[in-house]
Amino acid sequence: MSLFKRSIAEMFGTFWLVFGGCGAAVIAAGYPMLGIGFVGVALAFGLTVLTMAFAIGHVSGCHLNPAVSIGLVVGKRFPAKELPAYVIAQLVGAIIGASTLYAVASGKPGFVLGGFACNGYGDHSPDHYSLAACFIVEAILTAFFVLVILGSTDERAPKGFAPIAIGLVLTLIHLVSIPVTNTSVNPARSTATALFVHGWALSQLWLFWVAPIFGAIAGAVISNVFFAAPQEPVREAMAK
């Protein structure tokens, strides 16, 4: 499969993650009486990754996340030369997803942009967690996200279950961190929504690049040191 086609798959997959996950937060989380709450939002993000992993995992590996792609490079599962194409595709897909979500959400009378599912720390953390606390949680959760991805797609792991494990761990990540940062662990997702809110969201965006990438690298290094075995690239392994 050509790099162009795999990048297009990443673009569509990241669109789905942002539109589905952030859409659940913006449109459905606080709906009167029947709102899904943050548990529903956590499930929505997990389901976007689970469904896309089955849909495009055999095409692109279904990274949907620049931090994950970087972690897979460090984990020796993905070639570094293909990283720029994947990151660009993920950012484009995320921005299109956020733009489509904005077009839908703003169609409701009385629409107020508000936080638009952005990530933040300090005064812009849902429960006002400090910058240090937000950095720690984003780094640790991304590290474990990458550990689960690398472990579940290992050639020694049970075949065909990786999408389920990855979707469930992303759900768990959201259950832990929505009150802290509104959950990023994904620089593309954070960038896409911040572009609409501007101001504080853009000024705090650096954290949601630095912490997830730091965590992804740490997770990959841990996997390399303690758990790795020679194997094929993740984009091929996931298809089995």
Residue-wise pLDDT tens digits, 154-196: 988 888 899 999 999 999 999 999 999 999 999 999 999 999 9
**Is there a contact between 77 and 233 (Cβ–Cβ < 8 Å)?**
yes
Q: Residues in the chain, how many?
A: 240
Cα 113 to Cα 20: distance, rounded to the nearest angstrom: 17
In the numeric block, the tokens 């293909």 are attached to 82
**Is there a contact between 66 and 87 (Cβ–Cβ < 8 Å)?**
yes
Phi first, then psi, for residue 96 (nearest 5°) are: -65, -40
Which residue, among 72, 64, 54, 68, has the nearest Cα to 90 in the 3D structure? 64
- Is the pLDDT reported for residue 31 higher than 90? no
- Could you tell me where the DSSP H helices lie in 31-153? 37-60, 66-74, 83-105, 131-152
What is the pLDDT confidence band of residue 240, given thresholds at 50, 70 and 90?
very low
Q: Which domains does the chain have, with CATH numbers?
A: 3-237 (1.20.1080.10)
Residue-wise pLDDT tens digits, 104-162: 999 999 899 999 999 999 999 999 999 999 999 999 999 999 999 999 999 888 888 99
Kindly report which listed range (48-52, 217-221, 227-231) carries the lowest average pLDDT score. 227-231
Residue-wise pLDDT tens digits, 128-137: 999 999 999 9
pTM of the model: 0.92
Query: For the chain, what is the mean pLDDT?
Result: 93
Identify which has the larger pLDDT, 71 or 28.
71
Cα 161 to Cα 64: distance, rounded to the nearest angstrom: 18
Mean pLDDT, residues 4-9: 98
What pLDDT does residue 239 have? 45
- Name the burial class of residue 5, with classes exposed (0-12), middle (13-18) and buried (19+) by CB atoms within 10 angstroms of its CB: exposed
Residue 90, CA distances (Å) to 9, 15, 30 in order: 9, 8, 28
What is the pLDDT confidence band of residue 228, given thresholds at 50, 70 and 90?
confident
In the numeric block, the tokens 């429960």 are attached to 127
What pLDDT does residue 232 have? 55
